[in-house]
Amino acid sequence: MKTPGSETPRLRDAASLLPALGVFLLMPPVITLFAGTHTWLGVPLIVAYLFGVWLALIIAAALLAWRLGPPAAAPPPDEASTR
């Protein structure tokens, strides 16, 4: 099992792709697929879709942030190289 902070290029790629996926899912042509008179558990389908996508993006971002971990600290500058 991987620990937080052991990042791979795939995780970084997924983290950079997540906002683009969110923009695509929230674009008007995609949203209008769910516009209509249909309901799900008494909630209009478009509202359920918007909140579902929003919640999925938050959960995916939290999981990716946890798996990527904090950024590695930069080593302190060498005093000989600053002179």
Q: Are 69 and 7 in contact (CB under 8 A)?
A: yes
Q: Is 41 left (phi over 0), alpha (psi -120 to 50) or beta?
A: left
Q: State both tokens at 68.
A: 């990527």
CA pair distance 10, 21, nearest whole angstrom: 16
Q: What is the pLDDT of residue 56?
A: 95
| pLDDT score of 16 more than 80 | yes
Is residue 7 very low, low, confident or very high in pLDDT (cuts 50, 70, 90)?
Answer: low
Look up residue 4 and give its amino acid: P
Q: Residues 39-67: pLDDT tens digits?
A: 888 989 999 999 999 999 999 999 988 88
